Structures are given as structure tokens and as C-alpha cells.
Amino acid sequence: MMINAIRAGLVCLALTACQDEPAPATGPTPPTPSQGVQAYVTVDNLNAAVGQTVRVRVEVQVGTQQTWKVGSYTGRLHFDPARLAFRQENPINDGLRIANNNGAPQGEIRFAGASPTGFTSLVLYEGTFEVKGPNWVPALQLQMEELSAAQSLTNLQPHLTVNHQVFVNRQPN
């Protein structure tokens, strides 16, 4: 009886420790929020093996009860360069967008964009990466530094939630 109690305690402790690192999602993008703005990362293949390439996107969703259009943003995509190698930026033809890939060998890509009337594509960044090692998905981390509304220039940062799960994106560009 005492051994079963110890086992149960260890299982609870292990589950609690695992909650610090969100598990990768296995389904499509998260549901659109009713309020605020949600940013997240998607990939086209969660199960890509060493040697394969994956398309990594940073995306946002504006809440269904909001009237904002995203007008500008800055952020960083972090990854483990021992597990993923940056290959190329995939252009998005909507507004002015730029990425700084100089930090890619150290596992960081900075990206930014602006559109006075608002973006029609809520994909903020897209790049192609080569899988170099296992467990590359949990190493993808998103950091949003600025997010503003078009025309009004309202700071959307207080309304922004970054979802730390990585989702599957099966949509074409």
C-alpha cells in the first residue's frame, strides 16, 4: 500500500514538472479568440525527420469581437540551431515585411512588418528550415515585441496572448 502511494506521488510530481513545457499540438491552428489577439507558430509537418525541410510560420488571429486590423509588428522566432537550420525566408506579398536572418546560426530570426491600411494576410513570418536533430518542435519559441492596429496605431500589446504550442498548418501560402 505504501509503495502504491509513493508511485502515485511520483507520477503527480512528474506530471507537474511537465506542465512547464507546453506539449506540441497535434491538430490545426487554435480556435480564434473572441477578444484580443493571439499569436502562435505553425509548421507544415510536426513529424519531419532529420534531413527533411519544414515551413515554419508565425501567425496571429484577431478576436471575433474586435474590429482591429493589424498594422505593424515586430517579433523574434527562437529555435535550437542544433535541431533546425534556417534555409530561406518565404516571401509574403502583403504590406512591407522584413526579416533579419543574421542571428539564425545562433537560433534567432527577427521579423517586422507595416501596412498603413492593415494586412490581409495574418501570417507575420514564414521560413523554410532543415531538421538537423530530433525533438525540434519544443525548441520553437515565439517572442512578440510590438503589435499595433492599422490607421489608429492603437497598441495591441496589452491585448496580445502568445500561444506557446506549435500547431500544424496545412494551408498553402
135 is a domain residue: yes
173 is a domain residue: no
12 is a domain residue: no
The residue range of the domain holding 115 is: 25-168
Give the span between the Cα atoms of 150 and 122, in whole angstroms.
13
pLDDT value, residue 30: 86
How many structural domains are present in the chain?
Answer: 1
At residue 87, does pLDDT exceed 50? Answer: yes
Residue 61, strand partner residues:
38
Q: Over the stretch 39-78, which tens digit does the pLDDT of each residue have? A: 999 999 999 999 999 999 999 999 988 889 999 999 999 9
126 is a domain residue: yes
**0.75 surpassed by pTM:** yes
Give the span between the Cα atoms of 94 and 165, in whole angstroms.
26
pLDDT value, residue 66: 86
94 is a domain residue: yes
Is residue 59 within 8 Å of residue 73, measured between CB atoms?
Answer: no
**12 falls in which pLDDT band (50, 70, 90)?**
very low
- More confident site: 15 or 34: 34
